[in-house]
Amino acid sequence: MKFAPLILLTLAASASAFAPVGSRPSFISNSALNANVQKLSDPTKEVLDKTDVFIFDCDGVIWRGDSLIPGIPETLQKLRDLGKKMFFVTNNSTKSRAGYKKKFTSLGLDIPAEEIFSSSFAAAAYLEQTKFKETGKKVYIVGEVGICEELDLIGVPWTGGPEDAGKQPDMGPGGRLEHDENVGAVIVGFDRFVNYYKIQYAQLCINENPGCEFIATNLDAVTHLTDAQEWAGNGSMVGAIKGCTGQEPTVVGKPSPLMIDYLCDKLGLERSRICMVGDRLDTDVLFGTDNGLQSLLVLSGVTTEEKLLSPENSITPDYYADTINDFFAAVPVPK
């Protein structure tokens, strides 16, 4: 795969970015303030002049399902014309970075591979940082091809994934499912073909293999498989494994700080000049507020204005807008 040298190089350079949580700087989270949220009204003053780097979520911001949100290509080009750097960070682990590059291209967007970060890549980077390969063990995957491709790029052996789609364990009298005792980690990512076989295999590895680590790409409750409705997200798959193991996973996708630590370490970015833009409060906005970034919520995805402004919501972005196209909307003239 032609992206292998790039990814291996960046992984090798990123070890210090994945430092233990206790060694990272702490930030006061705006999510605890429950302040009134302002809708974007003067984008140049409120966002563009304050931001050098935009981190965009993908589902609900750039596209919905397999449909590009209207106006996005023009808006991204205007940002590039202003000299803004951009990164696209998705919690969806079904594709590798190379796979997402193909999706961007299929939607008519020319996005360099080095600007794309998926939670499948984050899982591989986490294994690199923890020197998992040196243990000589393998990974069991509840998930799709994206995780498999990223692990192949770093030379970590795996089992499961798409190969276990459609399998059924023997549940007759005396039936049992044999599992590989050399599995040292279970990665759970979004899986449209999740089944009882995979859940049982994962719980056996976690419960019976000493030291087996439970890793989740994300805990998203819902996702956009299509633009017609919301679909159960990876939180449902992770919840099944949590329920039968009693274990909490290590989460490598948003709002975990792993990816922003990686970006800041690799590129020397100033956190206060980065704006996280997403459609989810509990992942995208929390990723921004908890890591010292600016944050902006768009209403083009899963979060409604009613939910954002509800008294029950305590996660507050700096601003919100209908879509990122509002970055270049005309500023109303004062009367």
Phi, psi of 203 (to 5 degrees): -70, -35
Nearest to 72 by CA among 62, 82, 64, 81: 62
Which whole-number Å values give the CA distances from 237 to 26, 150, 160, 233, in the listed order?
Answer: 30, 20, 15, 8
Residues listed for the chain: 335
CA distances from 311 to 31, 206, 283, 308 (A): 13, 39, 19, 9
Handedness of CA 69, 63, 286, 235 (dihedral sign): positive
The secondary structure of residue 115, as a DSSP letter, is G
Distance, first Cα to last Cα, the chain: 58
Coil, strand, or helix at residue 329? coil
- In this structure, are strands 53-56 and 116-118 parallel, antiparallel, or unpaired? unpaired
Strand partners, 295: 276
The 10 Å Cβ neighbour count of residue 274 is: 24
Strands 213-216 and 222-223: unpaired
d(CA 92, CA 77): 24
Alpha helices in the chain (DSSP H): 4-12, 43-46, 72-81, 97-106, 119-129, 145-153, 196-208, 234-245, 258-267, 286-289, 305-309
Name the active-site residue from 49, 52, 170, 322: 52
Amino acid occupying residue 5 = P
Catalytic, 52? Answer yes
Catalytic residues: 52
